[in-house]
């Protein structure tokens, strides 16, 4: 797992051999990243099936409850087969847009 720290979020790129291996590593490290907005970039050299995305439902739920964003970048899947509770987008630009929309939504909920 490669972690790139940006100004307002963290990009994680899986380096493990499988989605389940990556999920195990992520769940071990997620506590240290609890205050960070997270973008996981599966788009480069990593095959993930729509059915495997549900592995990250627990992380997405925890991040939302903690007031932070969680976005997966995945290409080549049918978005209709992904749980609504997980933000899945095909590009980094859309991931950044999602982070911004989540921030606006959190601000509106504070009123």
pLDDT at 13: 94
Task: Show the domains of the chain with their CATH numbers.
Answer: 2-109 (3.30.750.24)
pLDDT at 40: 95
SS3 17: coil
Cα separation of 88 and 39, whole Å? 10
pLDDT in tens, 18-73: 899 999 999 999 889 989 999 999 976 778 888 899 999 999 999 999 999 999 99
pLDDT at 5: 94
Which pTM was predicted? 0.91
pLDDT at 49: 84
Give the residue carrying structure tokens 């100004």.
Answer: 7
Average pLDDT of span 93-97? 96
């Amino acid at each position: 797992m490669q972690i790139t720290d940006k100004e307002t979020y963290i990009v994680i790129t899986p380096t493990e051999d499988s989605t389940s291996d990556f999920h195990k590593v992520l769940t071990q490290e997620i506590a240290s990243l609890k205050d960070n907005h997270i973008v996981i970039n599966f788009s480069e050299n990593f095959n993930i099936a729509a059915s495997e995305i549900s592995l990250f439902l627990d992380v997405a739920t925890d991040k939302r409850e903690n007031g932070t964003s969680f976005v997966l970048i995945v290409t080549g899947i049918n978005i209709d087969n992904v749980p609504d509770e997980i933000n899945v987008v095909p590009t980094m630009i859309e991931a950044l847009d999602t982070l911004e929309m989540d921030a606006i939504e959190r601000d509106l909920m504070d009123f």
